[in-house]
Amino acid sequence: MKTQKTTKATYQVPVGPIHPALKEPVMFEFEIDGERIVDVDVSLGHVHRSVEWASRRRNSVQVLYLAERICGICSYCHPIAFARAVENAVGIEVPDRGEYLRIIHGELERMCSHMLWAGVAAHEVGFDSVLFLTWQMREKLLDLTEYLTGNRITKGITMIGGVRRDITKDMFPKIFETLNFFKDNFEKLRHVFLDDKTFKLRCQGAGILTYEDALKLCAVGPTTRASGVKKDVRVDQPYFAYSDLDIDYITPDALTGEINGDVYDRIIQRLLEVKQSIDIMEQTIDKMPSGEIVAEPKIPKLLSTLKKAEGEGIGLHEAPRGEVIHYVKLEAGSDNPYTWKVRAPTYNNILPWIPMLKGEQIADIPIVAASTDPCMSCTNRVTIVDKEKKYMLNKEQLHRKSVEKTRRMMK
């Protein structure tokens, strides 16, 4: 028998730009050997909408609404970070009541986003009944948002120097009713996610991000806190009124006692953050001072102040996915900003995908990618290129592969 000197070649699997795990287009190229992933390459830019360039033709109040439409789920954090950047550049002081009101809306959005994520993560594993349970609970939060701001998603509540609407005493009963509903049902959620054997089998040990990698790659948000790195803008820098409240960094060892940095830890991290948000909202309502809600109620006067102002500033905020930073440079004599740089939190969480996915199986791609909660906007098909033939796997087939693995593991 002739001995042939050949080695097994690795396949190149492009996954994307339409994403298997969540709602956004990201292009991965995996090199796989059998079912294991050997190397990962990421490419972006499939929904680039030139938002930063569009701000050159709009004045600062119009840019607030442009910023709101950068993302649907984090539609509160981008206008707030922009407003903070302008306030830092010009030197506008926000009144105390305005700062407290901003916290309430921010924490409400954080709870909505984590509930949505919990449902999607459960769907990726194949546990559809939890998807419906969490989204049913989320409907109560959206009803509360509509009552406080006028709309479910694009809230339009931010103004440079404060907020646009007040929360009066007669609105408090509805807020307390929703918070009590969540406190009563939190135990049910925790029992389903953390005690269930399905989640433990699929998620423990998958997609590990070590402490050193999370530090070196500058990861942000619950992704990095689940690996043990203590980075949280609310606790780091005193902004809004977080410095008056009693909050601290949350890492998974508050519940389990050890930190592994895998998908299971990220689930624990986000559930603990929902509990923290309920606590923060109650403290805020308790300590709310009275006074003005916005620094300058007459908007033509605000616009003329901004036209004469000159300077640069940065605005930070802790979005549900991590740290959002906006940089604004204003020039005297023009009402449009000179430069506006937006950095959404997912951009820093892309490089950690590479160490997380190496060594995993293809069927783990949806759950690992979904565990970092990417937010870029939209999804796509998967093309698998074999040596001779090409065949397409669309989103349903990839999702089905992930569900089949769950069934195999349950046996």
Partner 1 sequence: MRFSMLPTLLSQMFKKPFTNKFPAKYTPSSTTNFLQAVSKGKAKIIPPVETPYGFRGKIEYNKEKCTGCQLCIKVCPCEAIEFKPEEKKIKIYLSRCCFCSQCNDICPFGCLTMSNEFLLADADKYSKDLIVE
Partner 2 sequence: MTDTKVLDANSVVKSFKEEFKTKIKESKIEKRSAGIKKIEYYHIWMKIDRSIFKKSIKHLCGIQFPHLAVVSGNDLGKTIELIYHFSLNHGHKNKVVSLNISVEIPKSNPTIETICDYIPGALVTEREKQEMLGVIVKGIPDSRRLFLPNDFPKNVYPWRRDEKGLDKMIRNLHEVKK
With 0-12 / 13-18 / 19 or more C-beta atoms within 10 angstroms meaning exposed / middle / buried, residue 243 is exposed
Strand pairing class (27-33; 390-393): unpaired
Among 338, 381, 383, 403, binds partner 2 (CB under 8 A): 338
Map the footprint of partner 2 across residues 88-107, applying CB under 8 A: 88, 96, 99
The identity of residue 339, as a single letter, is T
Q: According to the binding rule CB under 8 A, does residue 28 interact with partner 2?
A: no
Cβ proximity of 322 and 296 under 8 Å: no
Q: According to the binding rule CB under 8 A, does residue 177 interact with partner 1?
A: no
Cβ proximity of 266 and 356 under 8 Å: no
Determine the interface stretch with partner 2 among 20-28, 222-230, 359-367, 383-391 (rule: CB under 8 A).
222-230
Determine the interface stretch with partner 2 among 152-160, 214-222, 362-370, 395-403 (rule: CB under 8 A).
214-222
E strands, 310-396, are 311-319, 322-330, 339-343, 382-385, 390-393
Q: According to the binding rule CB under 8 A, does residue 200 interact with partner 2?
A: no
Q: According to the binding rule CB under 8 A, does residue 165 interact with partner 1?
A: yes
* Dist. CA 151–CA 62, nearest whole Å: 18
Binding mask 336-375 for partner 1 (x = CB under 8 A): ----------------------------------------
CA geometry: angle 358, 113, 285, nearest 5 deg: 135
State the nearest-atom distance from the C-beta of 319 to partner 2, in Å: 13
* Dist. CA 271–CA 214, nearest whole Å: 21
Q: According to the binding rule CB under 8 A, does residue 327 interact with partner 2?
A: yes
Q: According to the binding rule CB under 8 A, does residue 58 interact with partner 2?
A: no
Among 164, 307, 343, 395, binds partner 1 (CB under 8 A): 164
Q: According to the binding rule CB under 8 A, does residue 192 interact with partner 1?
A: yes
- Give the residue from 304, 303, 301, 323 showing the smallest Cα distance to 314: 323
Pick 93 or 170: Cβ nearer partner 1: 170
Q: According to the binding rule CB under 8 A, does residue 136 interact with partner 1?
A: yes
Pick 196 or 282: Cβ nearer partner 2: 282
Q: According to the binding rule CB under 8 A, does residue 258 interact with partner 2?
A: no
Q: According to the binding rule CB under 8 A, does residue 211 interact with partner 2?
A: yes
- Give the residue from 121, 83, 123, 117 showing the smallest Cα distance to 101: 83
State the nearest-atom distance from the C-beta of 339 to partner 2, in Å: 5
Map the footprint of partner 2 across residues 143-162, applying CB under 8 A: none
Q: According to the binding rule CB under 8 A, does residue 341 interact with partner 2?
A: yes
The identity of residue 121, as a single letter, is A
Q: According to the binding rule CB under 8 A, does residue 59 interact with partner 1?
A: yes
CA geometry: angle 298, 301, 305, nearest 5 deg: 140
Determine the interface stretch with partner 2 among 190-198, 224-232, 302-310, 361-369 (rule: CB under 8 A).
224-232
Question: HEC states along 176-243?
Answer: HHHHHHHHHHHHHHHHHHHCCHHHHHHHCCCCCCCHHHHHHCCCCCHHHHCCCCCCCHHHHCCCCCHH
User: Binding-site residue total for partner 1 (CB under 8 A)?
Assistant: 33
Which residues partner with 86 through β-bridges? none
Among 3, 4, 6, 50, binds partner 2 (CB under 8 A): 50
* Dist. CA 263–CA 271, nearest whole Å: 13
Strand pairing class (311-319; 322-330): antiparallel
The residue behind tokens 């059998």 is 34
Which residues of the chain form contacts with partner 2 (CB under 8 A)? 43-45, 48, 50, 52-53, 88, 96, 99, 211, 215-219, 228-231, 235-244, 248-249, 289, 314, 316, 323, 325, 327, 329, 338-339, 341, 343, 347-348, 350-351
Interface positions with partner 1 (CB under 8 A): 58-59, 61-62, 64-66, 127, 129-130, 133, 136, 139, 146-147, 149-151, 154, 156, 164-165, 188, 191-192, 195-198, 299-300, 303, 410
